A = this chain, B = another copy of it.
Amino acid sequence: MATIRDVSKLAGVSVATVSRVINGSGYVNKETEKAVRDAMKALNYKPSVAARTLAGKQSSTVALIVPDILNPFFPEIARSIEDAAQELGYTLVLCNSDNDPDKEMNYFRILESKHIDGIIIASYTIVPRQIMDLQEKSIPVVVIDNPLPGYPILSLVTKHREGARKAVRHLIDQGCRKIAHICGPLHVYSARERALGYEEVCRGQGNFAPSLIYPGDFRIDGGYEAMIRLFEQHPDIDGVFAGNDLMAIGALKALYHMGKSVPDDVKLIGYDGISLSMVVPELSTVAQPMSKMGKLAMNFLMKLIRKEPVELTIHELEAELIIRKSTSKPVG
């Protein structure tokens, strides 16, 4: 592979000059520049990232740490981040942490030794201290879906509480009188917020009871189980707000097996916007703006990397109610 020295020789200039034209730094004569560019082209020259990283420049690489790319929530984010990164000349390293703090720490070590320019992390388990450690080593970090209020940390979060309210109000608008909620693990911020949103709207209603909230695990089976249990206690439920789409799908299966018709007997809405309209009836949901979030995350990270001024705080995004078949009004 051609090196900067090869280019400098061919162009009849010094390596310093070549470096200047590569980086667009300092003064370079038009003609000299042309000569250099020609030489680069002729030699099919590509600067060695390792060398420039070592010489103090950055690695043009950022990392995305997610709990598990298998969770259908994350590929969309990964994709949009990668697109944005690509456009900015960056490369994306993918890490799966399984929400395991040890694995996370391990990644931090590796990423640091690789001179990663910045990290985008989605984690329920991360604590402010870890983020700030990174920042003190001047590794910029953007946190996704886990706000850390009171710390100088940049995070991106969907307005879950408001999204949940939208979902429940929509059910009410569709005529539901007794609405249950299958919540996610309450030690997870997003699950908690959604449950709170549900409560805020329902607590006023006559039919509200704490036992209308049943814990799921954010997975299909948990949704199934929860739905069965809820109906045992409250056979007259006519609306269900599931804490995420996977649980909604589980609930849908349970309803199907119990012989309940959706949306006629029970209206059902999920959360996340990942359902790909796979199921019948198609699931209403509250969609998180995932691709916007990915793009934004990358843009914020870029600003941090470039040391442009950014507010190190929680940035909130709107969730969008998406109405499909599973909550439509009875035809009559």
Give the interface of A toward B (CB within 8 A). 1, 46-51, 53-54, 59-61, 68-70, 72, 74-76, 78-79, 82-83, 86, 91-96, 109-115, 137, 220, 249, 252-253, 256, 276-280
Contact = CB atoms under 8 A, between A and B. Distances in A.
A114 B69 contact: no
B110 A91 contact: yes
Contact of A279 (B70, B96, B114, B278): B278
Given A72-B72, A279-B278, A280-B253, A94 B78 contact: yes
A75 B76 CA distance: 11
A276 B115 CA distance: 38
Given A46-B112, A92-B93, A278 B220 contact: yes
B96 A93 contact: no
B70 A82 contact: no
A61 B95 CA distance: 12
Given A49-B115, A69-B78, 13 more contacts: A46-B109, A48-B113, A50-B51, A50-B54, A50-B59, A75-B75, A83-B96, A91-B93, A92-B94, A93-B94, A278-B278, A279-B280, A280-B280
Contact of A91 (B76, B114, B137): B114
A329 to B, nearest CB: 19
A91 B91 CA distance: 12
Nearest to A68: B79
A113 B46 contact: yes
A112 B83 CA distance: 19
B50 A220 contact: no
A299 B53 CA distance: 29
Contacts of A114: 49-50, 60-61, 91
B276 A220 contact: yes
Given A47-B113, A50-B53, A70 B59 contact: no
A115 B52 CA distance: 12
A241 to B, nearest CB: 19
Q: Which of A47, A74, A249 has the most CB of B within 10 A?
A: A249
Contacts of A113: 46-49
Contact of A70 (B75, B220, B249): B75
A56 to B, nearest CB: 10
25 contacts: A1-B137, A46-B112, A48-B113, A48-B115, A50-B50, A50-B54, A50-B59, A50-B114, A51-B54, A54-B54, A61-B93, A61-B114, A69-B79, A69-B82, A72-B72, A74-B75, A82-B94, A82-B96, A86-B96, A91-B110, A91-B111, A92-B94, A93-B94, A94-B94, A220-B278
